[in-house]
Amino acid sequence: MTGDPAVNPLSSIQRVRVGSRNEPKIAAVRSAMAAYAPSVEVCGVAVDSGVPEQPVGFEEIVQGARNRAAAAQRSGDCDLAVGIEDGLVALPAVAATAGTPHLNIGCAVVSDGQRVSLGFSSAFAYPLGITEAAVSDRSPIGELFDTLWRARRGESQDLPSARTSGNVGKLTAGALPRSEYARHAVLCALVMFVNPDLYSPTENSL
Of the pLDDT bands very low, low, confident and very high (cuts 50, 70, 90), residue 91 is confident
* Averaged pLDDT, 128-154: 91
Q: Rounded to two decimals, what is the model's pTM?
A: 0.90
Element spanning 168, H or E? helix 166-171
Q: How big is the chain by its Cα radius of gyration, in Å?
A: 17
Position 12 scores a pLDDT of 92
Would you say residue 6 has pLDDT above 90? no
Condensed to tens digits (0 to 9), the pLDDT of residues 25-77 reads 999 999 999 999 989 999 999 999 999 999 999 999 999 999 999 999 999 89
H or E stretch covering 68: helix 58-74
Q: What domains can be seen in the chain, in order of their start residue?
A: 15-125+181-201 (3.90.950.10)
Q: Does position 202 have pLDDT exceeding 80, yes or no? A: no
Where do the DSSP E strands lie in the chain?
15-18, 41-44, 80-90, 102-111, 116-124
Under a CB-based contact definition with an 8 Å cutoff, are residues 66 and 206 in contact? yes
68, burial (CB in 10 Å: exposed 0-12, middle 13-18, buried 19+) = buried
